[in-house]
A and B are shown apart, each in its own frame.
Chain A
Amino acid sequence: MESTAHAFKANVDHALADPNLQDSLAKLKVGFSERRRQAAERLPEFEALRDRARDIKNHTLAHLDFYLEEFERKVIGLGGHVHWAPTAADARRIIAELCQSVNARTVAKSKSMVAEEIALNEHLEALGIAPIETDLGEYIIQLRNEPPSHIIAPAVHLTKDQVADTFLEHHAKLGFDKRLTERNDLVAEARYVLRQKFLDADVGLTGANFLVAETGSSMLVTNEGNADLSNTLPRMHIVLASIEKVIPTLEDAAVLLRVLARSATGQESSAYTTLNTGPKKPGDLDGPDQYHVVLLDNGRSGVLGTEMQDILRCIRCGACMNHCPVYGAVGGHAYGWVYPGPMGAVLTPQLVGVEEASNLPNASTFCGRCESVCPVRIPLPKLMRHWREREFEKHLTPKAVRQGLAMWSFVARRPALYRRLTAMANRMLALFGRADGRYQALPLASGWTRFRDFPAPQPGGTFHARWAKRKA
């Protein structure tokens, strides 16, 4: 999808003024974090599992080439195919050619953030192949022609009423001309409409939560069962996954699964966890004739071995955004691209360029809540700070900020001068109406005083001035 990350500040204004979005976010902030907390408390081994999950991903990344080759060897041995895609364009081309090879008209798609990353739908549509999103949330936003606003809950920004309007608009022509008011009716209508599309689809395309090198399996976690229909009914199954999704063994998967659902939705387990291993076997009564795995790099191999490597541990649970107060204030669309929230603030500059996405790693208070809930313990604030360092080195930091910082650092490095200037600032601030105890407006501080009063300094001089007097 086209990035609007450069327009972050305008996106933020828009988001803060959207009452439907703010209603939805109010629910998200309470719901996800409370459910995750309870799930973690129910499992005494949760913290130990997080440590192990981190170690498994670190081990895999350090031997990524080995495990990818093992995975490939197994898939080929099963009669499947592996396609290597260095770039998004390569992945789009490969998938389109695969679809064309079976004269596909429709593709049943299970939610895949990597497919969003490579803008697959637009590419297929241009070739006359209809991609059908089957995850309910993805289906809703596909009808509305919107990007996802969350990596596991793509329509979390919408209210039930908005969904009802969308369904009425798009389903009336299928005979559903009554506006629904209940959630279960909306779910039932989507189930009915999508069921026929599953049965008609020529190709099923899914992402993968993990690729298991030991067995050549792709592993997928859903609650709806849409991925399973996508990989069972059509005659070709394509798995699109980025290279860091590979893990060594099924035992490693067991660890990661235990932290994934709990971190994501606070569930003990998602409803469906599925291992797909190759095409239909002799005697099987269903399943695809062809099984293809497309391995996407898209810049990830270049992140290995750098100070940003830790982001490749990410298992896309969404806990960081569920707990992020900035995401909670502005929602996912404000971030302007596929991956929002803290993990997006680290990953997006890597994938679309730091010039385009420079606001993202800056729009954080470094409150650290994301890191405190990350199932693979990614130090997200530290990685965002690394981006700020790269921006500073590249002179991308705004000029006013650089100049202010330069002046401040000149003074902060000279304690005697600092002492004189803070004493002076203390006196100057007093001139602006210390009698009220605070200021409604202050020169050069409109960013603060637009929304908040600014407390005045206590009378009597700075601490150091008073301490010096006391000691004299």
Chain B
Amino acid sequence: MSDALRNGDGTARAQILGGIRRSLRRGELAGEARKVVETRLAEPPRGPSVARGQLPQAEKVALFCQWAETLNATVARVGPAEVPGEVSAYLARNNLPATVAMAPSPLLEGYDWASQKMLSIRRGRGEGSDQVSVTGAFAGIAETGTVVMASGPDHPVSLNLLPDTHVVVLREGDIVGGYEDVWGRLRARYGKNLMPRTVNTITGPSRTGDIEQAMELGAHGPRRMHILVVRD
């Protein structure tokens, strides 16, 4: 890689920024005007509040489940001890192989997988041949039944995408109202302005409407998404 590519072309940069400033009939932002935008960036104002996600926690969980199912995911509400059994049962119900690729996360290790004698588990990133993955979720969004995945050593992104079937383990306490609540949790976990490499917010299985506008599931990502909503 040439230096120009490594650092960007200073001339081109000056050309674009200069062009913008000429068009806006001002120089580089300075003084009070700059302070105003810096403040807006540091203390982001929220948009109009969306009422439907602003509910007591139990109703948030119910709304999450309702939207997730409406948008083609399936949901099972279980207690912590029932998680491994529900995964096995789900695979059996859908005639899927009892082999899963699992995210190496402390959350998932907290469950008693050894209880599932027939279940074969590989921990690691997703591979092109994986049929089923099991991952945790950073949060759930009640407003749209969306699960939020934060990448990291405990959650490879490929597990969200490559398998045909994605089983998600989501704790009720991680279900929040809207995006804004997710941003708050991300800032609290990773630090302000810092993010994991990838945050996938996923609403139902992969789909496409590209042939005659008719919705078909399983375009490139999972055809099925099963969400275990776990009581605290």
Contacts and interface: CB of A to CB of B under 8 A. Distances in A.
Q: Say if A and B assemble together.
A: yes
Interface of A: 24, 27-28, 31-32, 43-45, 48-49, 52, 56, 59, 62-70, 72, 74, 81-86, 90, 94, 97-98, 101, 134-137, 140, 153-156, 158-160, 163, 183-184, 186-188, 190-191, 194-196, 198-199, 213-215, 217, 223-226, 228-229, 231-233, 243, 248-255, 257-258, 265, 267-281, 283-287, 295, 297, 301-306
Contact of A251 (B44, B50, B128, B216): B44
A81 B8 contact: yes
Contacts of B77: none
B189 interface: no
Interface of B: 1-2, 5-9, 12-13, 15-17, 19-25, 28-29, 34, 37, 40-41, 44-52, 67, 70-71, 104, 124-126, 128, 144-146, 151-153, 156-158, 160-162, 178-180, 183, 186, 193-214, 216, 218-222
A90 B128 CA distance: 35
A186 B70 CA distance: 25
B40 A248 contact: yes
B198 A249 contact: no
Given A63-B29, A213-B41, A254 B179 contact: yes
Contacts of B41: 70, 213-214, 248-249
A226 B220 CA distance: 6
Given A156-B213, A213-B41, A286-B126, A83 B8 contact: yes
Contacts of B47: 49, 52, 56, 251-252, 254-255, 258
Contacts of A305: 23-25
18 contacts: A52-B47, A63-B29, A64-B24, A66-B34, A81-B8, A94-B5, A98-B5, A140-B210, A187-B218, A214-B44, A223-B219, A232-B161, A254-B46, A276-B197, A277-B195, A285-B104, A286-B126, A286-B151
A136 B197 contact: no
B128 A86 contact: no
Contacts of A253: 179
Contacts of B9: 83-84, 90
Given A45-B49, A49-B47, A252-B44, A84 B13 contact: yes
Nearest to B124: A285
A31 B16 contact: no
A437 B96 CA distance: 73
Contact of B210 (A90, A136, A199, A276): A136
A163 B213 CA distance: 13
B212 A257 contact: no
A126 B220 CA distance: 28
Contact of A224 (B196, B200, B207): B207
Contacts of B214: 183
Contacts of A153: 209-210, 213
Contact of B195 (A72, A83, A215, A271): A215
Contacts of B209: 153, 223, 265
A295 B9 CA distance: 11
Contacts of B21: 65
Given A84-B16, A283-B152, A232 B128 contact: no
B51 A274 contact: no
A83 B198 contact: no
Contact of A81 (B5, B44, B45, B222): B5
A44 B51 contact: yes
A24 B212 contact: yes
Contact of A90 (B12, B51, B160, B199): B12
Nearest to A163: B211
Given A196-B128, A278-B197, 4 more contacts: A24-B212, A52-B47, A255-B48, A258-B47
A276 B199 CA distance: 7
A68 B196 contact: no
B151 A287 contact: yes
